[in-house]
Structures are given as structure tokens and as C-alpha cells.
Amino acid sequence: MSEDTSNQQQCGGKKKAMLAYGVIQISATVVSAISLAAIAVGLCAVKQESKLFNGCVETVVAEGRSNAEAVRYCNGG
């Protein structure tokens, strides 16, 4: 009788530990997914800004200025 009780108590502790591990693992996966989504959104903004900058440089070069002057102008200088 005492062996059955001690085996159940040991197994109960292992179950709790495995459950805690599983919850922590799932939480870490969710945090990673959210972080990757945030990075992807940030990269989309950089890509859009790059397109606008390149368009600005092309427009200024078409007006007859050099590339260096166009970049300086589009950077705000």
C-alpha cells in the first residue's frame, strides 16, 4: 500500500514539472512569433521608405543635378 502511494506522489510531481515545461515552451514560441511579426512589419516600413528615397533621387537627377547633390537634397541637406 505504501509503495503505491509513494509512486503516485512521485509521478504527480513529474506531471506538474512536465506541465510547467510545456506551458513555458508554448509561451516562448508565442513570444518568438510575435517578435518575428514585429520585425517583418519594421522591414516593410524600411522598404517603403527606400522606394520613396529612390524616387526622390531619380526626380532630382532628372532635373539636372548630380547624384551626390540629389542624395544630399533627399536626405534633407
pLDDT at 29: 97
Number of domains in the chain: 1
58-71: average pLDDT: 94
Asked if 74 and 65 touch (Cβ cutoff 8 Å), the reply is no
Using one digit for the tens of pLDDT, what is the confidence trace for 3-47? 555 555 667 778 888 999 999 999 999 999 999 999 988 888 888
The residue to which cell 506551458 is assigned: 23
Contact 76, 56 (CB under 8 A): no
Range of the domain at 11: 2-74
Mean pLDDT of 43-52: 90
- Compute the distance between CA of residue 14 and CA of residue 45 in angstroms, rounded to an integer: 47
How many Cβ atoms from other residues are within 10 Å of residue 57's Cβ?
18
Question: Is the distance from CB of 53 to CB of 74 less than 8 angstroms?
Answer: yes
